């Protein structure tokens, strides 16, 4: 099976997982869900690292990659930490 087809398999099956997992999320946590998925989409940082760190990368690619790494890491750190801050506020009556 060609790589692109493997990728397609993974993609489609992941969509199903996403579908079932997300419907289980309680509506009261929808804002943390958006924040968490946002942090997770910071996974784009992996792409940015691969572009920037390539040994043969030219200066232009390195610069593009550098900005991508910067933006994605703001996402990763900001996203997870703000989610944590929000979730820490959700308490039951008796602490």
Partner 1 sequence: MEISANTQAVAYLISAILFILALKGLTHPASARRGNYLGMAGMALAIFATLLGNQVQSYGFIIAGVLPGAVIGTVIAARVQMTAMPQLVAALHSFVGMAAVLVAIGTYLNHDAAGTLNPVMMGELSAGIIIGAITFSGSVVAFAKLQGLVSGAPVKFKGQHMLNAAMAVATVLLGIHFGMTESMTSLVLMTLIAFVLGFTLIIPIGGADMPVIISMLNSYSGWAAAATGFTLGNLLLIIVGALVGFSGAILSYIMCRAMNRSIINVVFGGFGSESGGDVSAAGQAAQKGVKSASVDDAIYWMEDANKVIIVPGYGMAVAQAQHALKEVMDLLEARDVSVKFAIHPVAGRMPGHMNVLLAEADIPYDHVIEMDEINSEFPTADVTLVVGANDVVNPAAKSDSSSPIYGMPILEAAKSRQIYFLKRSMNPGYSGVDNLLFYQDNTSLIFGDAKETIEGMVTALKGGGH
Among positions 13-72, residues that touch partner 1 (CB under 8 A) are 14-15, 17-19, 21-58, 60-72
Q: Does residue 1 interact with partner 1 by CB under 8 A?
A: no
Question: 3-state secondary structure string, 43-91?
Answer: HHHHHHHHHHHCCCCCHHHHHHHHHHHHHHHHHHHHHHHHHHHHHHHCC
Q: Does residue 5 interact with partner 1 by CB under 8 A?
A: no
Compute the least distance from the CB of residue 6 to partner 1, in Å: 8
Compute the least distance from the CB of residue 86 to partner 1, in Å: 6
Structure tokens at 37: 């998925």
3-state secondary structure of 94: coil
Site string for partner 1, 74-93 (x = CB under 8 A): xxxxxxxxxxxxxxxxxxxx
């Amino acid at each position: 099976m060609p790589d692109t087809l493997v990728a397609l398999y993974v993609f489609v099956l992941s969509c199903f997982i996403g579908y079932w997992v997300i419907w289980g999320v309680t509506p009261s946590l929808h804002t943390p869900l958006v924040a968490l998925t946002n942090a997770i989409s910071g996974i784009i940082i992996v792409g940015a690292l691969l572009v920037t760190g390539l040994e043969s990368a030219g200066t232009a690619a390195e610069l593009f990659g550098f900005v991508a790494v910067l933006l994605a890491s703001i996402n990763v750190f900001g996203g997870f930490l703000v989610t944590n801050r929000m979730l820490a506020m959700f308490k039951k009556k008796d602490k």
